[in-house]
Structure 1
């Protein structure tokens, strides 16, 4: 049985502040307003010392619902088209991995971050995985790895949402809402609950998201079943994800990182610029839509990019194919690359204290 989250007053304050921050973003038609508003509200309360955390079952369920949202956009002709361009995806992802490895190497060589912290902190698209793997590294400060990873997630979400708003300022005409398929909603919720449970048991980073995206697509393609995901349900999932990311920012982590914050921001900004440059090459040489290329090459987080892409009218399967493949390759190649580079830096010792 799920327990009620502690600190009910703090949760009420978080919900109220989230609504107040989200409303102007929503009125501005900013993509992912329902993600960014709760995320910014959670950062404010987290930095002020409110000790809150989204319970894992709720966070896993939110990941599953977002994965099912992506799955709902996948079709057989589209999969055939994506497989035909597999070489393109791998080339782009290799370029992003090379850029992040070089940036991490420079951070680790410099005086700003302890040990191999910069190597684990810069890899894109697998924030929770890199934090967990850094815990087993003898020469990395896990607190700074977590801060750097979630700073990247925050800055990418903010910039991608702003770019999406600028690139597509005219919102599409809203279509008449379809009547709610109550039976379909029950089946979809049952599927999301089952996949979120399986994802947690699988011990795979972002397991609920990945399982829901893959198995949800199989259910839809093989069984001809249309997933039912009303906007209010997705809105709750977006807010849960925003709270999870935002509450990771606390006063103690910021205090620990005060002298490393500028190098972190510079490295993240440079990585985002390099990824945007790769996106420009896709536009220039392959005539891919600029916003689609930008979101496809943005350095994570994957679930946040899925939300922004879904509300921006871009080629969502192309974006998510690129993001998912990169996520998997970062999981496979990121730790060996970090350890390989770390062996070249064995003389460097971690900082202690703040």
Structure 2
């Protein structure tokens, strides 16, 4: 039993040291990016297999989600009608760009068009990889690499791009007693499980966000989560992402590795242009606009928004719209495309 726990303990120690080191350097979101890079690099030097429980990551997402939900402004829901066309336009632009990238990638690499489409489409990491794993004709390693390198790029590069555009706030509300916070997190975790039964995407993040909004609607006095607890949550998520990209995942043709990087750069550039458009049309800050349009997961973008004091509820709404667009339009179309290939 002790031997089974050691790989998890190693990851916890490495992740904490990475967060502590990045914090000393005053880098953006040190307690997520630090663990991410520390765990990622450790895999190349430590022969002992490293492990991290998915439940730790889920608890981290729950804490981050409830923090966003309890601060969610209900007025945002009233303005979603105004933002709808902008969100739809951004999603269409991204999909068209990704289809173009897929065609180019398939032409200049050994990847099939089917694999290239799955690798290039913007969306939640988990959803696309799970879908790709069910496709017999898809190269799962290539699809995983493209999406993981995108996640790593987004969570490491985006904070540096947007941190200078936000006035950091050092005022922290008085944290509630630990027992009250524990009750809140437990209730949020149970709510996330219920939401997951309804097949809602990223339930351990979106569920607590919805739970926090519901508590606000009924005007319940929600316990305040301390920064230390938030840092633990960020460590849990950062360590999980760091373990996703393993050394074996990089054993791909050089052209595939290169096009994965090109894919990320082009998507980030388009995100930058879309962010400028959102800034102009909706008068949001650059940080909020860029995090809203960046091709990262909803949970990661909302986490970054919370850490740098951007408008996390706006970011969540934009990223939620993309996730719903992916779940109800893109994946069904991909399934039809896959079925046609099999005949």
Q: Which residue in the other structure is 1:72 paired with?
A: 70
2-structure distance, mates of 1:5, 1:108: 44
Change (3 A) 1:84 1:205: closer
Gaps of at least 5 residues in structure 1 are: 348-354
Please give the alpha-carbon distance, in whole angstroms, between the structure 2 residues aligned to 1:227 and 1:103.
46
Aligned pair count? Answer: 342
Distance 1:276 1:154, change over 3 A: same
Cross-structure match for 2:251: 255
Matched residue SS, 2:23: helix
Segments of 5+ residues of structure 2 without an aligned counterpart are none
Q: Which moved more, 1:329-338 or 1:292-301?
A: 329-338
Question: 1:300 and 2:290 equivalent?
Answer: no
Preserved contact between residue 131 and residue 142 of structure 1 (Cα < 8 Å): yes
* Deviation, structure 1 residue 271: 1.1
> 1:13 aligned to 2:1?
no
Deviates most, 46-55 or 315-324: 46-55
For 1:204 and 1:152, the matched residues in 2 are separated by 23
Question: Counterparts of 1:199 and 1:104 in 2: how far apart (Å)?
Answer: 33
Tell me which of 78, 88, 96 is aligned to 2:86. Answer: 88
SS in 1 for 2:4: coil
Which structure is higher in RCO with an 8 Å CA cutoff and minimum separation 6?
A: 1
TM-score by length of 2: 0.89
Aligned to 1:162: 160
Is the CA contact 2:305–2:312 (under 8 Å) kept in the aligned structure 1? yes
Separation in 2 of the partners of 1:205 and 1:177? 31
Distance 1:99 1:225 in 2: 45
Between stretches 106-115 and 73-82, larger displacement belongs to 106-115
Partners of 1:127 and 1:281 in 2: CA distance: 26
Q: Secondary structure at the match of 1:175?
A: coil
1:153 Cα offset (Å): 0.6
Residue by residue, what CA displacement relative to the aligned partner does 1:102-151 show, whole Å, maximum 9, x if unpaired?
22233234324245222112222311100010122222111221121111
The one-character-per-residue Cα deviations of 1:11-70 (angstroms, maximum 9, x if unpaired) are: 443333333332342234433211111111121123445433322322222222221122
In angstroms, what is the RMSD of aligned CA positions?
2.7
Give how far 1:221 is off. Answer: 1.8
Identify the structure with the greater helix proportion. 2
